[in-house]
Amino acid sequence: MQQQHLSFNNLNQTDQRKLLLLKNHIQRAEHQTSQLESQIEKLSPNETTFHIDFKENFNIGMNRDQKSQSFFEKAPITCVTAVVHKRKLHNLVQKKAITLLSPVLSHNCSLTLLAVQRMFESEFMRDVEQVHWWSDGGPHFRNKQLIWALLNNEDILIPGTDFEVNFTVLYHGKGAPDGIFGMYNTYLRNNKPKEGINSLETLKREQKLLTEHQALVYNDPEREHEILIFNVDRFNDEEDQLVINDFRRQLTGTAYAGERSNPMKSTVKHVKRSPKRSTVLTKDK
């Protein structure tokens, strides 16, 4: 518009509507970023923000061609990271990144919930009572199964812990987990061992060395990540999910949607038990 010296009134009605939608979208994304920052600043003791994301298409180079020195076999894996802020005694807010590495490639809600349970076994999470959940609106997060698992009072996912769930709008920009994924990728691209990375155990060791080095260089213990290997043999063949109409419409994130309530009732859905798997080894031979 600036290059063509156009004002809003010079646009046709279709373009005006698109511009207004874009403006509202940017405002919602900025509001959510501000809300997350405010929650971190105002945390009470034993209260956390929990910002989680999957890294899609995370590949590790496994075998190197001795002539070309290029990796001729790459194996996809699942990498899921949560960046957690928690207020401790003496009014200090601590930050912790917890990363799970898994050969399971089925990025469904069953995997998400099992991964969250594993993360909450961390010593850092032991005294957490209130969680502000933040994630994108991808299908592995924004679904009726996750809402029921985190908010119901009958079969609590993490006993003794209350959740508030927030989904970011589409194209909301890069969050804290994205920065961590970028750091992992850059390090592995520039510092991959000559023999390649042939197992999750090796990958865990390399990522651990990276974050330990970062902690030393910056004299900041929070830069050292907790990195875990996580595997699932089979999913449950049935999972509970929330009974709700117009589920997507009620989670629009728009200012005009208003406040709505829904009774906490569940139904059972069938789940494919056998997860899709990577060919990567868990441990070195």
The predicted pLDDT at position 207 comes to 93
With CA atoms as reference, report the closest residue to 49 among 172, 177, 198, 174.
Answer: 177
> What domain count does the chain have?
1
Q: What is the mean pLDDT of the chain?
A: 83
Residue 83 lies in a domain: yes
**Could you please report the per-residue DSSP string of 171-238?**
T----HHHHHHHHHHHHHHHH--TT---BHHHHHHHHHHHHHHHHHHTT-GGGSPEEEE---S---SE
The Cα–Cα gap between 19 and 21 comes to: 5
Residue 110 lies in a domain: yes
Q: Give the torsion through C-alpha atoms of 243, 246, 247, 248, to 10 deg.
A: 170
Residue 281 lies in a domain: no
Q: State pLDDT tens for residues 114-161.
A: 999 999 999 999 999 999 999 988 888 989 999 999 999 888 899 999
In the predicted model, is pLDDT for residue 164 greater than 60?
Answer: yes
The predicted pLDDT at position 58 comes to 65
219: containing domain: 8-270
Residue 1 lies in a domain: no
Q: State pLDDT tens for residues 70-116.
A: 444 578 889 999 999 998 767 789 999 999 999 999 889 999 999 99
Residue 3 lies in a domain: no
Residue 282 lies in a domain: no
pTM reported for the whole predicted model: 0.84
The predicted pLDDT at position 257 comes to 54
Q: State pLDDT tens for residues 18-62.
A: 777 767 757 776 767 788 888 999 999 999 999 999 886 566 665
The predicted pLDDT at position 68 comes to 41
Residue 182 lies in a domain: yes
Residue 285 lies in a domain: no
